[in-house]
């Protein structure tokens, strides 16, 4: 059976070159002079989450980290690219806003909260270890949750946990101490097109209005 999935991507590239790129050629040429992103956007690799579409952004607007579960390991916990990307975003690009954005129906959160099923995915299981605090908090505070409500609660708590992890990175700690950095917690419900942000004052997730700054507590979110 023929797999047309790659053909559709190739056609998409050609359509982009002949359409969007041609219409905005001057903008792309100007980007060769450098980049000044508005924010570091940390989100999941899930194909249903598109940071640029959701935020109405253009090329050059977002510096993006994507991985399973929108996880940022604590400083020194791994030699992966997340720490280097965060450091570059703050110290080289002088980005002043970091958004950690989880989402509904997250497979990483399903895996994290499951009591098995990752035996054939040892690298995934190891990676999710950087979100172990999320699992512990949920098991302690919401022991009776199951199904999608459990995944939703885990996703919300995980965003705050990863913001705590971010604060262990020297570049983040420095910029926060200098008052040059703001942290934001978002949750995207893709089936409704809804974006929520965590309001620290009330301890609640509310429809995104403005961009409240957080101290990134591990909260009962």
Which domains does the chain possess?
1-34 (no CATH), 35-207 (3.40.1050.10)
C-alpha pair distances (Å), 159 with each of 35, 62, 203: 27, 18, 14
What pLDDT score was predicted for residue 24?
A: 84
Q: Where do runs of H (alpha helix) occur along 44-185?
A: 51-55, 81-91, 107-113, 122-128, 132-141, 147-166, 170-177
Read off the pTM.
0.89
Quote the percentage of the chain above a pLDDT of 70: 93
- As a whole number, the mean pLDDT across the chain is 91
Pairing state between β 39-44 and 182-189: unpaired
Q: What is the pLDDT of residue 22?
A: 87
N-terminal to C-terminal alpha carbon distance within the chain: 47
Write down the pLDDT at residue 193. Answer: 94
Question: Does the pLDDT of residue 218 top 70, yes or no?
Answer: no
Residue 131 has pLDDT above 90, yes or no: yes
CA distances from 200 to 10, 26, 94 (A): 45, 41, 25
Confidence of residue 219 (pLDDT cuts 50, 70, 90): very low
Band of residue 217 on the pLDDT scale cut at 50, 70, 90: very low
Dig out the tokens for 118 from the structure: 């990752």
Residue 3 pLDDT more than 80? no
CA 127 to chain centre: 15
Give how far Cα 144 sits from Cα of 147, 157, 164, Å: 10, 16, 25
Binned at pLDDT 50, 70 and 90, residue 213 comes out as low
Find where tokens 């809804």 sit.
194
Phi, psi angles (nearest 5°) of residue 80:
-70, 180
Mean pLDDT of 159-179: 97
Three-state SS at 216: coil
Region of poorest pLDDT, from 9-23, 118-132, 186-200: 9-23
Between residues 90 and 80, the one the model is more confident about: 90
pLDDT of amino acid 216: 45
Task: Find the mean pLDDT for residues 202-221.
Answer: 67
């Amino acid at each position: 059976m023929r797999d047309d999935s790659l053909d559709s991507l190739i056609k998409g590239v050609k359509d982009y070159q002949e359409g969007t790129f041609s219409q905005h050629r001057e903008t792309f040429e100007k980007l060769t002079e450098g980049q000044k992103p508005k924010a570091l956007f940390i989100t999941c690799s899930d194909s249903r989450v598109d940071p640029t579409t959701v935020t109405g952004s253009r090329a050059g607007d977002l510096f993006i980290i994507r991985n399973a579960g929108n996880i940022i390991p604590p400083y020194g916990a791994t030699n992966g690219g997340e720490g280097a990307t965060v450091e570059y975003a703050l110290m080289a690009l002088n980005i002043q806003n970091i958004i950690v954005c989880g989402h509904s129906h997250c497979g990483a959160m399903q895996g994290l909260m499951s009591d098995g099923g990752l035996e054939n995915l040892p690298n995934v299981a190891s990676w999710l270890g950087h979100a172990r605090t999320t699992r512990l908090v949920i098991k302690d505070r919401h022991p009776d949750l199951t199904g999608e409500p459990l995944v939703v609660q885990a996703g919300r708590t995980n965003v705050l946990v990863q913001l705590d992890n971010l604060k262990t990175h020297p570049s983040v700690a420095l910029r926060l101490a200098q008052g040059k950095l703001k942290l934001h917690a978002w949750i995207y419900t893709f089936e409704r097109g809804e974006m929520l942000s965590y309001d620290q004052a009330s301890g609640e997730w509310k429809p995104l209005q403005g961009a409240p700054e957080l101290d990134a507590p591990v909260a009962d979110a």
